[in-house]
Amino acid sequence: MILRRTLLIACTALAATASMVTMSVAAGRSRDGDDSAKPARGTGELHLAPAREQLAALRRRTITSRALLEQYLRHIDRTNPGLNAVVTLDAEAARSAADAADRHLARTGKPLGALHGLPLTVKDALETKGLRTTCGSPDLSDHVPARDADAVARLRAAGAVIVGKTNVPVMCQDLQTSNPVFGATKNPYDGTKTPGGSSGGPAAAVATGMTSLELGSDLAGSLRLPSAYCGVYALRPSSGIVPTRGHIPRPPGWLTSSDMLTPGPLARNPEDLDLLLGVLAAPAPAEAAAWRIDLPAPRHDRLADYRVGLWQDDPYCHVDEDTRGLLDQVSALLRSAGATVDDGVRPVDFAGSDRLFQQLMFATASATATDDGFAADVEAAEKIPADDPSGLFLHSRTMRHRDWLRANEDREKLRGRWAEYFTTHDVLIAPAVPAASVDDQTSTPVPGRSITVDGEKRPYFDQTAWLNLAGPVGLPSLVMPAGRTADGLPLAIQIIGPYLSDRTVTAVAAHLSRRLPVPAT
């Protein structure tokens, strides 16, 4: 197993659909994490640089937004056909926005915002004004929103240039990325494996340099599972700090969303995650006149000062040998850096937390059911005993409001247990997934799918069990690449922090990324 410091994955060759991307791997930043300290790379390959390096070049006017955009468009044209990550391209509108950014900078000498002139892509679940947004559904194949999702509006206000949309499963409801509108997205490391879902297109696009940053979304690991499988960084922000209006599902026009859904950033390094977090974390427009979000600084400056909880495995969802070995090595790295490591105390009961998450997730999904469909679900649920595990979906989906209130009370108690844990621990490091990316099973109906962990056949949805620890309680959760299997597939870890400590988890990821050994290439 080879640990890595950080990866900048650039696609250098792409053959037909049966072939896969050939990667070139380069270090993503200087040893101290400051991209500005690096010698400037040639502007002809700037689109493969970290976002912060691109933004610095744009502000220095060593490259124009239009020139950078044209690099991206050429790279997408070369890279995307065999990967199918970018599914809708808006080249002319992007050129117009890039030209406007260049004129503004030339006229005023000041950038439009934190993302001035930076081309990037957006998950096809988030509405984009004037640009088709399908969420992979044939019913929405011609949906062109008249208004940006609130999070997308934040990108534009910061000066970003929206290039296009990236692929998702139908209505974001799968752990793989395939739909009847655009087809399947491939894993950049191995075409027989899935990139994950539902942000599989975003993760594959970031991994192969078709965008340096991406706006995705996460409910049940939708950001973090693809990031683990594609070898990139993703952050599920603290609940409530990134507006959700304009995310599909719910259907277009709805003002509400699931109470566990949050948009969030993907990137190739933790510093760029933090950059995009700073743009996204803001009150919803209707509340912006009264308050603002000011996320706390990281708890400590040095890794040696951190109190790190370590949860390496659990009988409820065993991880494979590679992942156990990876966590052992991360533990050794933390101890050698002087951090205090506790691998004995567990913040919550894994099984109970996961069951509560499923109950709340199934309940919120019922909001958009048709009247007839919901009535059928109620009738079916009444025929299943309350204590029958096979009835969890239907009983949760059709629970009475009183039952939901009690489940929500259980959630508040769970939040309290996490909060108590974080009085003596700064972060928790745990597996992201049970194993590296699993086989693509697009052609197999979901009930017939499974995964294999250390030779044992396991339930398909075990893939997100570890990621769901943070879901019901709205904690910030970051997934980062930390190693490779013998076959070269990415391995990842998860960093969970206290509520609103998003900058603590990105800081810990940055500390770790600078200390992980550089992989052999």
189-223 pLDDT, tens digit each: 999 999 999 999 999 999 999 999 999 999 999 99
Residue 510, pLDDT > 90, answer yes
Mean pLDDT score, 297-324: 98
Instruction: Give the model's confidence band at 352: pLDDT under 50 very low, under 70 low, under 90 confident, else very high.
Output: very high
Residue 367, pLDDT > 60, answer yes
A 10 A CB-CB count for 407 gives 17
Question: pLDDT digit string (tens) for 426-446?
Answer: 999 999 999 999 999 999 999
Residue 43: its pLDDT value, please?
A: 72
Residue 286, pLDDT > 50, answer yes
Residue 425, pLDDT > 50, answer yes
CA gap 130, 118 in Å, rounded? 19
Instruction: Give the model's confidence band at 41: pLDDT under 50 very low, under 70 low, under 90 confident, else very high.
Output: low
Residue 109, pLDDT > 80, answer yes
Question: pLDDT digit string (tens) for 447-474?
Answer: 999 999 999 999 999 999 999 999 999 9
Residue 18, pLDDT > 90, answer no
How far, in Å, are 363, 375, 405, 447 from residue 366 at the CA level? 6, 11, 16, 20
| Token pair belonging to 252 | 């277009």
How far, in Å, are 198, 200, 213, 240, 464 from residue 17 at the CA level? 21, 17, 25, 40, 28
Kindly state the percentage of the chain with pLDDT values over 70.
91
Q: Helix, strand, coil shares of the chain as percentages rounded to 5?
A: 40, 15, 45
Residue 310 has φ and ψ, to the nearest 5°, of -130, 120
Residue 36: its pLDDT value, please?
A: 36
Residue 265: its pLDDT value, please?
A: 98
The 3-state DSSP class for residue 264 equals: strand
Residue 14, pLDDT > 50, answer no
Residue 10, pLDDT > 90, answer no
Residue 493: its pLDDT value, please?
A: 98
Mean pLDDT score, 267-294: 96
Residue 17, pLDDT > 70, answer no
Question: pLDDT digit string (tens) for 116-159?
Answer: 999 999 999 999 999 999 999 999 999 999 999 999 999 999 99
In order of their start, the domains of the chain are 8-284+300-347+422-508 (3.90.1300.10), 352-406 (no CATH)
CA gap 211, 71 in Å, rounded? 11
Instruction: Give the model's confidence band at 516: pLDDT under 50 very low, under 70 low, under 90 confident, else very high.
Output: confident
Give yes or no for a contact between 497 and 427, defined as CB atoms under 8 angstroms apart: yes
Residue 7: its pLDDT value, please?
A: 31
CA gap 364, 71 in Å, rounded? 42
Question: How high is the mean pLDDT of the chain?
Answer: 92
Instruction: Give the model's confidence band at 309: pLDDT under 50 very low, under 70 low, under 90 confident, else very high.
Output: very high
| Token pair belonging to 108 | 């005023």
Residue 418: its pLDDT value, please?
A: 98
CA gap 263, 154 in Å, rounded? 12
Question: pLDDT digit string (tens) for 387-405?
Answer: 898 999 999 999 999 999 9
Residue 29, pLDDT > 60, answer no
Residue 16: its pLDDT value, please?
A: 31
